[in-house]
Amino acid sequence: MRLGIISALSEEQQGLVEAMQSPYKLIHGQRTYWVGQLWEIDAVCVLSRIGKVAAAVTTTTLVEKFGVTHILFTGVAGSGDRSIKVGDIVVAESLVQHDMDASPLFPRFEVPLTGMTHFPADHHLGTRLLDAAYAFLENDFSDAIDPLEKAAFGLRQPRIHRGLIASGDQFVNDREHINGLNAALPGLVAVEMEGAAVAQVCHELNVPCAVIRTISDNANENAATDFLRFVKSVAAQYAFHIVRRFCQQTKVL
Ligand code: ADE
């Protein structure tokens, strides 16, 4: 196994790069790829930057140039359903590009000439990520996050959800927009800007992938408030411990 780990923001990646054994970096296509081992798993860590094109080219490079066999994407997302709260964790079952619309030539959301609207995430990889996320909440959450930050963001007993993640080249910060996506996409758990592009590339290249996101906002008018503070003080800790537990549990399989 050679694991590619993609993060959208540097705060989320920093801890993982610091934890790497014998890391070296390679710069390619304006991105820095960190190659080494994470808890004894061969790994390559990279920042995709933001958006579907950035994620697609990064994913392709990880597979074609770095030979990764599995891909994990960690990041934050807006809630896709009223029942899903800030601080909850979502794992993708499948992913859709919510801004893809070539109608009336093709049905809304269908990626033309693929016949597909939903791209699957790898079920086995997703289940192992879920296990890591549950172990994080049970064992690490209470100590890993500063109590002041927990209070500031109203984090009490975060929950974990598995379902549909929708990606688009838009930061969704409008109640009507998110309600419309929720109505059009049954099973929606979150909106973000990269996952479905990673899933399409992985589907086309036949590489298993999984996407895990911490809910940072409700995709409404308040979505951008305290966004970076949340990434630094909450999401970065979630990503680090969940990936650590994922690697440690993978090593013993
Ligand atoms: N990532 C985190 N929050 C988001 C939002 N509201 N829209 C798109 N991507 C996001």
- Using most ligand atoms within 8 A of CB, pick from 52, 98, 171, 225 the residue to mutate for ligand 1: 171
Is pTM beyond 0.75? Reply is yes
Q: How confident is the model at residue 72 (pLDDT cuts 50, 70, 90)?
A: very high
Residue 18's pLDDT is: 96
Closest atom of ligand 1 relative to the 192 alpha carbon: 9
Mean pLDDT of 220-237: 94
pLDDT of 137 strictly over 60:
yes
Residue 252's pLDDT is: 57
Q: How confident is the model at residue 33 (pLDDT cuts 50, 70, 90)?
A: very high
Residue 253's pLDDT is: 57
Cα separation, 139 vs 47, in Å, equals 27
State if residue 217 touches ligand 1 by the CB under 6 angstroms criterion: yes
| Residue 12 annotated to the active site | yes
How many whole angstroms from 191 Cα to the centroid of ligand 1?
6
Query: Is 3.40.630.30 the CATH classification of the domain at 74-250?
Result: no
How many whole angstroms from 76 Cα to the centroid of ligand 1?
7
| Residue 18 annotated to the active site | no
Cα separation, 153 vs 230, in Å, equals 8
pLDDT of 29 strictly over 80:
yes
Domain extents for the chain?
Answer: 74-250
Over the stretch 152-195, which tens digit does the pLDDT of each residue have? 999 999 999 999 999 999 999 999 999 999 999 999 999 999 99
Q: Please name the residues in contact with 103: beta carbons below 8 A apart, sequence gap of 6 or more.
A: none
Which stretches within the chain are classed as H helix?
A: 10-19, 52-64, 123-139, 141-144, 147-153, 175-184, 195-205, 227-230, 236-251
How many whole angstroms from 172 Cα to the centroid of ligand 1?
6
Place of tokens 């992913």: 95
State if residue 223 touches ligand 1 by the CB under 6 angstroms criterion: yes
pLDDT of 95 strictly over 80:
yes
How many whole angstroms from 26 Cα to the centroid of ligand 1?
29
Cα separation, 191 vs 219, in Å, equals 8
Closest atom of ligand 1 relative to the 170 alpha carbon: 8
- Using most ligand atoms within 8 A of CB, pick from 193, 228, 232 the residue to mutate for ligand 1: 193
Of 4-13, 92-101, 114-123, 191-200, the range with the lowest mean pLDDT is 4-13
Residue 24's pLDDT is: 97
Mean pLDDT of 4-29: 95
**Residue among 12, 81, 110, 192 flagged as catalytic:** 12
> For residue 238, how many C-alpha atoms fall within 13 Å in the half-sphere facing its CB?
32
Over the stretch 98-132, which tens digit does the pLDDT of each residue have? 999 999 999 999 999 999 999 999 999 999 999 99
Q: Atom 2 in ligand 1: which residue has the minimum CA distance?
A: 77
Residue 8's pLDDT is: 86
Q: Please name the residues in contact with 112: beta carbons below 8 A apart, sequence gap of 6 or more.
A: 102, 105, 106
